[in-house]
Structure formats: structure tokens, C-alpha cells
Amino acid sequence: MNVKFLNPFIEAAYETLLADAKTKIRRGELTLKNEPFVTNDVTVILSMIGKVEGLVFYSMDERTALSLASSMLGDELSEFNELAQSGIAEMGNVITGMASGKIADAGYESNISPPALLLGKGSRISTMDFARIIVPLDCELGRISIHLAIREGHHVGVASSNFIVPGKPV
């Protein structure tokens, strides 16, 4: 995992949370892990496909998710309902989208998948042979951990229909 993929995520998270949830984040200690990720209450899962590929998780407890969703929607939510869930999934989508834009500016273009939201503590998520960098982000609403299991892609993101077809022999 290349560190040049890390900073775009931290910048994107900082900008997104400042703009949408009006909260400033501080980055905690980075860790690198190989074993499966044991989930917290709420996990947003996104894939990146292209010149950079892999998975991104945003993990937090339900209280943090609820405070973030309340702050983003400008409405005090008392339960983690569908509206709150869609808010948190969207937050993951916006951060990843912005980060993938910054990474593309550095020459690594990628597409991101729609966000999947996993609810339930204690599931184990394995990213196979991708190691994960874990970035804890603390803000006054709680802690969000970003897990990055990404690497330079093996394929360059050209869809099969875009392959150049040689002309017929004369």
C-alpha cells in the first residue's frame, strides 16, 4: 500500500466532515494490519476499481454514526433509521469520491462502487491478500476509522469494448 493513496483520503475526510457535519477531525496513529477486520456497529464498504484498486471501509459506533447523521442532516435523530443510514452511506461515498478524484489527479484513475452499509458488530471482513492501513479520525462527535486496503491496479481500467480491434488483413 502506497502512502500516496493515504493522504487524499485524509484530506477528503477533513473537507467533507468540515463542510457537511461542521466538525474538525484530527488524525490518530496509523496502523497496518493483515488479519480480517472485526466490524464495529456501522461499516460503510466501497470498492475502487481502476489504476488503483481495492476496498475502503469507514467504521464507527452507532452513537457516532447517529451524531454525524444528525449533524449532516441538521436534524436531531434519535434512532439509526433508514434516513440516518443513507446519510452515513453517502458520507462514505462523498469522501471516497473526492479522494478518488485527488488520486486521479496524481495519475491513478479509478471508478468507485456504490456504498454498501454493514450493520452489526463482530462480523469479520477479510480482504484476502490486501493489507489494511487503518487511519483513526477523531472529532467531537466520536471516532471514525478509515481502513484502506488498496493498491495499484493490475489492469488500467479499459473496458473490453474499448480494446482496439485490428483491421482486416488485405
Partner 1 sequence: MNVRFLNPFLEAANEVLKAETRLSVTKGKIELEKSALTTEDITVLISIVGSVQGVAFYGLSYKTALDLVSRMMGQEFTEFDNLARSGIAEMGNVITGRASIILSENGLDSNISPPTVIEGHGAKVSIVDFSRVVVPLETEAGTITVHLALRESSSHQMDENFVQLVPDAIKD
Show the binding pattern over residues 44-63: x = contacts partner 1 (CB under 8 A), - = does not.
-xxxxxx--xxx--------
The residue from 7, 23, 70, 85 that contacts partner 1 (CB under 8 A) is 85
Show the binding pattern over residues 121-150: x = contacts partner 1 (CB under 8 A), - = does not.
-xxxxxxxxx--------------------
Closest by CA position to 153, among listed 103, 114, 97: 103
Widest pairwise Cα distance in the chain:
72
For partner 1, the closer of residues 25 and 65 by Cβ is 65
Backbone angles phi, psi at 8, to 5 degrees: -55, -35
The residue from 12, 17, 69, 89 that contacts partner 1 (CB under 8 A) is 89
Question: CB atoms < 10 A from the CB of 132, how many?
Answer: 24
The least CB distance from residue 154 to partner 1, in Å, is: 10
Task: Mark the segment that binds partner 1 (CB under 8 A) among 2-10, 64-72, 109-117, 132-140.
Answer: 109-117
Give the separation between CA 146 and CA 6, rounded to whole angstroms.
10
Contacts of residue 109, defined as CB under 8 A and 6 or more positions apart, other chains included, come to 50, 51, 157
Three cell numbers at 126? Answer: 477479510
**Which amino acid does the sequence have at 114?**
P
Which residues bind to partner 1, rule: CB under 8 A?
A: 36, 39, 45-50, 53-55, 85-86, 89-90, 109, 111-120, 122-130, 155-162, 164-165, 167-168
